[in-house]
Structure 1
Amino acid sequence: MPVEKLIVYVISDSIGETARNVVKAAMSQFYGKDPYEIKRFPFVTDQNTLSDILTNAKQQDAIVVYTLVEEKLIEFLEDFAQKENITTIDLMSDMLKKISGRLNKKPKREPGIIRKLDESYFKRIDAIEFAVKYDDGKDPRGVLKADLVLVGISRTSKTPLSMYLANKHIKVANVPLVPEVPIPKELSDVSSKKIIGLTNSPEKLNQVRTERLKALGLSSKANYANFERILDELEYSEKVFKKLGCPVINVANKAIEETAGIILDIMKENGLNIFKDGEI
């Protein structure tokens, strides 16, 4: 005799949304507009809670679909279900066993790990959006919200470093230094531990600025690439760095990764939180 209304309990140690979607996809093969009900129970991490849910599932003659990774909880659920004759479907264990066999590696068995991965992704996106919003001094208020502020004259790798560090979940604002333009007053409210000055050799600056002008179709004789102008800018930036009391890194002949590594070391020494590779 067909069931009038099938009830499915989705039990997860995380959000349970993936399991819910799998159940919906399966149900679509049997139901059109016919009734069925999915009851989702997220963040189930202890036996008492699990016992209460399974008792209700028994009373409602429900199928139990679960994505649990803790072996003790799985054993408890299956023992309970066997005694009470509850139909269960384990969406996770068989997959973990087969992947484990291929990789010859044990799974972490850590509840909610995919949610943490998602959180890591969104933190990275948030930091990247921050870097874009507060790039090149677009809004000086950004320095007050930033985890780190990079200051330096043009062509000292401020933007690429900001984006690289954003991928480490670090919110970076960068401020260009121009002798004719006063530095943002907001910088005086930022701890020197959160500010890093960037400089470059005059020869390297002359080279990269000349190439930049050519790429823009402009004359290489423009003041932007003038050697005397570059020396003036470097002298000005040194005065600003001393005033701010911040560490200074010369990026000449350094890859972005190398400079970023130095910055991360400085942040760590100053007690600032940083993202570690492999960290979730």
Structure 2
Amino acid sequence: MDQKEVVYVVSDSVGETAELVVKAVATQFNGGHVEIRRSSYVEDFEDIEDVILLAKDSRCIIAYTIVVPSLKEYLDQRAAEERIYAVDLLNPLMNAFTTKFNKTPHHQPRMMRKLDEEYFRKIEAIEFAVKYDDGRDPRGITKADIVLIGVSRTSKTPLSMYLAHKRFKVANVPLVPEVPPPDELFEIPRRNCIGLIISPDKLNEIRKERLKALGLGSKASYASFERILDELEHAEKIMKRVGCPIIDVSNKAVEETAGLILEILKKERSF
């Protein structure tokens, strides 16, 4: 009876990358019938010895993704001593990066997992910004890292999305004289909230353009100076009541305002 064909997948991380590579190669031979035994989170020489002990009496290959030089060298040495075929799946490409791009690898395990975690945090923050945009659900105020408040057309939504891409959960609340601000706004720490103000002239200009884009007349009360002054006065009263920092966004790009927000928050707390 033929001895079972085994590939030991050894990694200082989860080992998913190595296993996928092994499976891709295995499909080219006998329909991919090979047994894969994964050894994850290899952190010291003893972990490697455990794999060597299992592998030396088998008809097997060790396929590994180990980036810590001392562990890699030890595995190569022990595999050679026991006449076990060991394949480094990362080093040839890492050497190519070093040679061609003149870059030095970090040699830190689990970097991919860190990148994945960062990615999913960003997606979660973006979904949060969409869900709690424009005061749709006041419950988001108490869950947010940052709460933006201000009158309509002070870039609350673009700022929310920009900050979400930096992995901050942002809720924004429009301040309108006819609508009482949500109670949650006065329950959160003042350091969680940022007020956005704008000059009446600039807001009038922006709102006229907005009305034009919607096919509406520029004389609508939304863009009238009287209405704008009322809204700004109401908003400033709310901001003073909240006690939050205030930023004038009149002639600032979204990136510039976001930078100021992060500077203000950095003084208040550590991210």
Task: Output the TM-score relative to the length of structure 1.
Answer: 0.94
Aligned residue for 2:252, secondary structure, equals coil
Offset, 1:105: 2.1
Distance in 2 between the 1:37 and 1:249 partners?
61
Equivalent residue, structure 1, for 2:105: 107
Aligned residue for 1:261, secondary structure, equals helix
Letter of the 2:143 counterpart:
K
Equivalent residue, structure 1, for 2:31: 32
Distance in 2 between the 1:46 and 1:209 partners?
64
Letter of the 1:27 counterpart:
A
Aligned residue for 2:36, secondary structure, equals strand
Counting aligned pairs with the same residue, the percent is 56
Cα deviation, 1:201-229, whole Å, max 9, x if unaligned, reads: 10011011111111111111111101100
Whether 2:106 is the aligned partner of 1:129: answer no
Distance in 1 between the 2:4 and 2:240 partners?
74
Distance in 1 between the 2:168 and 2:52 partners?
44
Aligned residue for 1:59, secondary structure, equals coil
Equivalent residue, structure 1, for 2:79: 81
Distance in 2 between the 1:124 and 1:255 partners?
22
Offset, 1:4: 4.0
Letter of the 2:40 counterpart:
P
Offset, 1:246: 0.3
Equivalent residue, structure 2, for 1:60: 58
Distance in 2 between the 1:151 and 1:59 partners?
68
Aligned residue for 1:249, secondary structure, equals strand
- Give the ranges of 4+ consecutive aligned residues of structure 1 lying more than 3 Å apart after TM superposition: none
Letter of the 2:114 counterpart:
K
Cα deviation, 1:101-153, whole Å, max 9, x if unaligned, reads: 11222111111111111111111111111000000001000011000100000
Alpha-carbon spacing, 1:73–1:3, altered in 2? closer, same or farther (3 Å): farther
Offset, 1:49: 1.3
CA contact (8 A) 2:98 2:105 kept: yes
Letter of the 2:84 counterpart:
I
Letter of the 2:92 counterpart:
D
Q: Relative to structure 2, which stretch is displaced further, 45-54 or 81-90?
A: 45-54
> Which runs of no fewer than 5 residues in structure 1 stay unpaired?
274-280
Offset, 1:32: 2.0
Aligned residue for 2:147, secondary structure, equals strand
Identify the match of residue 115 of structure 2 among 109, 114, 117. Answer: 117
Aligned residue for 2:233, secondary structure, equals helix
Equivalent residue, structure 2, for 1:243: 241
Equivalent residue, structure 2, for 1:189: 187
Aligned residue for 2:22, secondary structure, equals helix
Cα deviation, 1:57-104, whole Å, max 9, x if unaligned, reads: 113332100000001001110111011111111001111111101122
CA contact (8 A) 2:3 2:59 kept: no
Aligned residue for 1:263, secondary structure, equals helix
Equivalent residue, structure 2, for 1:277: none
Identify the match of residue 168 of structure 1 among 147, 166, 169. Answer: 166
Q: How does 1:160-239 map to 2 (within 5 A)?
A: 160-239=158-237
Distance in 1 between the 2:53 and 2:41 partners?
18
Q: How does 1:260-279 map to 2 (within 5 A)?
A: 260-273=258-271
Aligned residue for 1:228, secondary structure, equals helix
Aligned residue for 2:153, secondary structure, equals coil
Distance in 2 between the 1:221 and 1:250 partners?
25
Distance in 2 between the 1:168 and 1:32 partners?
44
Aligned residue for 2:31, secondary structure, equals coil
How many residue pairs are counted as aligned between the two chains?
271
Equivalent residue, structure 1, for 2:96: 98
Distance in 2 between the 1:59 and 1:225 partners?
82
CA RMSD of aligned residues (A): 1.2
CA contact (8 A) 2:45 2:74 kept: yes
Offset, 1:3: 4.6
Offset, 1:262: 0.4
Alpha-carbon spacing, 1:238–1:188, altered in 2? closer, same or farther (3 Å): same
Alpha-carbon spacing, 1:3–1:75, altered in 2? closer, same or farther (3 Å): farther
